[in-house]
A and B are shown apart, each in its own frame.
Chain A
Amino acid sequence: MRNGFTFFVGLFLALGLAWAGIVLGSHLQLGHLAPYFDESEGKAFPERMPGIAARGQLVYQDLGCASCHTQQVRRPDFGSDKARGWGDRQSVARDYVSQVQVQLGESRIGPDLANFGARPQAVDADRLTQYLYDQHGGMPAYRFLFETRKVTGERSAKALRAAAPAGWEIVPTPRAEALVAYLQSLTNVYEYPEARPVVPAATKEGEHK
């Protein structure tokens, strides 16, 4: 390693090869991935998020929800993701093509949320808002997403049933509403061609056995 020039070339190569391999390689494979147009339904999947949900994603991002929740369902024979009701199929790259900031997450202190809006035991907006206000299943309360204000005229339709002093009401802030809308928008139910399980199809036709 006497030759400084060779040394620096080596450093660049080391950096460049890994970057090119992982980042450019996967870019070549997935960079052109587009939503899948289903002719029978007449629309493309994944569907675009409504504006309020896109704002909710920013709330999810800035509060660091991803430090406890993943958004990736693993295939049925890998962990208990399916058995826990998080999704019938594994998440695929196409599920995320329209998301601005992908939040796959690395920790499951709380449940996976990739398919939260489409779970069998779906949670309606009121209950979900209530969960954010009270603590629920180990998740702390996020009281700062709510506002306690004086009732002027009629009570707000959004007011929580939580105990507020007489003449006052507790209402979710726009951030809380956006977050709820985002969580409810999370679905990966649509069966893309690449998301269909391969094994059952092959055994059914009996061609490969």
Chain B
Amino acid sequence: MTTAPHAADNAEVTEVDTSARCALLLLLAFAVLWLVVSGVLALVNLVQLHTPALLADCSLLTYGRTHALQETAFIYGWAANAGLAVALWILARLGGSPLRSLNWVMAGTVFWNLAIALGLVGIATGDGTSNAWLHLPRYVLPMMLVAYGTIAVPGVLAWSGRRHETAFAAQWYGVAALFLFPWIFSLAQVMLVFVPERGVLQALVAGWFVQGAWTLWLAPLALTAAYYLVPKLSGRTITSYEFAALSFWTLLFVGAWTGGRHLIGGPVPAWIPTIAVVSCALLLFHYIVVALNLRAAFSGGGSTVMKFMALGLGAYVLGGFIDAATALRSVAAFSQFTYFSTAQTQLALTGAFSMLLYGAIYFLAPRITGQPWPSVVLIRAHYAAALTGTVGLVIALAGAGWIQGHDLRDPLVSFAAIAAHVRPWLLIATAAQAILLFGNLLLAAHLVRLIAAKSAAPAAGLFRPAPAMEAPAS
């Protein structure tokens, strides 16, 4: 880890890091807060699946609303705040100069999170829109768009005003994510909420939006962290880097076309699911290149940050292959509408996105505060909880989905019987979710301790210098 004091110079931390301290810590604090909130809600939600009576009399937390609440808190609370913090920091570092207009970033952060809090209250009291990944009530959407702009603009400026002519893969992904999200978000708002499309076109816009938000926003944010940290920590250059650009453009151009895979067999023109199936297969190129580029992460050993990166990258690539497999019509007939899809979403969000971001936060936070993490044990404990929790959750949900898919095909099996069959798996998933929540509470407590310790000791010689980049011998 970064805790070993080193006699070498302190060039690892520069003004780029220290100047952004307050703004980035604010983003991270909100991110971790929402992570815990969404973890609690996800736990309630999972318990409601096998014990439907829980909170059933409470209209604020009925199953449908808890589901919307936990999803919203995760995506717009945790993922957005954490992703923005990491992307801003990496873009500033690679750009070579401190971030500009940080006051705007802080103001934007406050308003973004106010909007989310307001939105969650709105969903709980019945103003939700029932669109996947866009449950937020209409009255907070414009405010979120403006707030996002004020946070993201300094990141794009850091890229366009960069000191080095060449741009690195981490920068492509970071700029793409920061720049594209407002467009996707505003198009989806208009076409789903303010001037809704007619009939099933709504479902098509929603499918495009969910997939776009993943492939053009969240996945690139996570890859920003991966492409920056893996070579930096391993001290090795990215292998097969010449394919990285093609892989990037494949994700961007092909990714959003896979949105129709959830509509296979649905009341939409048949060419939409067909294109989605083909696109899922094309996108495999991207996943293979990511695995090739960053294979240094899997070479074992290394710090806990590297272990988080390896876990996240493994989940990301595995998720891509599973998406392609379940997009095939014969598999979709079986896996569609089951917990198997939930398992895929969790593999992407909890497995890939969160792991890569945890790694980045553990690397970033000591550098902006100038303090080491108070406890290496807590980081290892979080890693252990995240690993067991994610693996348990994804496998349990996939197992439940397998049984549910099997039972749904047999018209004689009632829904009460299906619920009884999947119950043991859902209990395992609940336990796994509780472990995940425990791990996230550790992260929250640890971050509070780190911020509280800010004014204590000087930071000189805290970080060992980054290893020099070397091409692998082979």
Contacts and interface: CB of A to CB of B under 8 A. Distances in A.
Interface in A123-163: 135, 137-144
Given A2-B165, A99-B199, A138-B52, A22 B180 contact: no
A109 B199 contact: no
Contacts of A27: 197, 201
Contacts of B372: none
A121 interface: no
Interface in A46-104: 61-68, 70, 72, 74-75, 78-80, 83-85, 90-104
Interface stretch (B29-37, B54-62, B382-390, B448-456): B54-62
Contacts of A70: 337
A74 B414 CA distance: 18
Interface string B156-194: 000110000111000010011001100110010001000
Contact of B57 (A106, A139, A144): A144
Interface string A99-123: 1111111111111000000000000
A72 B6 CA distance: 62
A18 interface: yes
B257 A97 contact: no
A92 B127 contact: no
Size category, B interface: 35 or more
Interface stretch (B8-16, B262-270, B354-362, B438-446): B262-270
Contacts of B408: 79-80, 108
B268 to A, nearest CB: 7
A82 to B, nearest CB: 9
Nearest to A104: B203
A63 B198 contact: no
Contact of B266 (A74, A84, A108): A74
B160 A140 contact: no
Contacts of A84: 411
A44 B200 CA distance: 19
Contacts of A103: 130
Nearest to B165: A2
A74 B265 CA distance: 6
A10 to B, nearest CB: 7
B341 A107 contact: yes
A2 B58 CA distance: 56
B253 A90 contact: no
Contacts of A141: 53, 56-57
B112 interface: no
B411 A83 contact: yes
A74 B269 CA distance: 13
Contact of B269 (A18, A30, A78): A30
Contacts of A96: 199-200, 267
Interface stretch (B75-83, B113-121, B204-212, B286-294): B204-212
Interface SS majority for chain A: loop
A147 to B, nearest CB: 13
Nearest to B332: A78
A98 B260 CA distance: 22
Nearest to A110: B415
A201 interface: no
A155 B126 CA distance: 31
A17 interface: yes
Interface in B129-177: 129-130, 132, 135, 159-160, 165-167, 172, 175-176
Nearest to A136: B416
A139 B414 CA distance: 12
A80 B410 contact: yes
B56 A140 contact: yes
B216 interface: yes
A42 interface: no
A165 to B, nearest CB: 17
Nearest to A13: B253
A61 B249 CA distance: 37
A19 B256 contact: yes
B73 interface: no
Nearest to B48: A140
A108 B333 contact: no
Interface in B265-307: 265-269, 272, 275
B359 to A, nearest CB: 25
Nearest to A95: B267
Interface stretch (B64-72, B100-108, B233-241, B319-327): B64-72
B338 interface: yes
A21 interface: yes
B262 A106 contact: yes
A109 B50 CA distance: 11
B256 to A, nearest CB: 4
Contact of B257 (A22, A72, A94, A137): A22
B143 to A, nearest CB: 21
Nearest to A102: B202
Interface string A165-208: 00000000000000000000000000000000000000000000
Contact of A97 (B59, B199, B259, B416): B199
A14 B249 contact: yes
A51 B59 CA distance: 24
Interface in A1-42: 1-2, 4, 7-8, 10-11, 13-15, 17-19, 21-23, 26-27, 29-31, 33
Contacts of A29: 269
8 contacts: A7-B172, A10-B249, A14-B253, A62-B128, A93-B268, A96-B200, A104-B200, A141-B57
Interface of A: 1-2, 4, 7-8, 10-11, 13-15, 17-19, 21-23, 26-27, 29-31, 33, 61-68, 70, 72, 74-75, 78-80, 83-85, 90-111, 135, 137-144
Interface of B: 48-49, 52-53, 56-59, 62-65, 67-68, 126-130, 132, 135, 159-160, 165-167, 172, 175-176, 179-180, 183-184, 187, 191, 196-205, 207-208, 212, 216, 245, 249, 252-253, 255-257, 259-260, 262-263, 265-269, 272, 275, 333, 336-338, 341-342, 404, 408-411, 414-416, 418-419
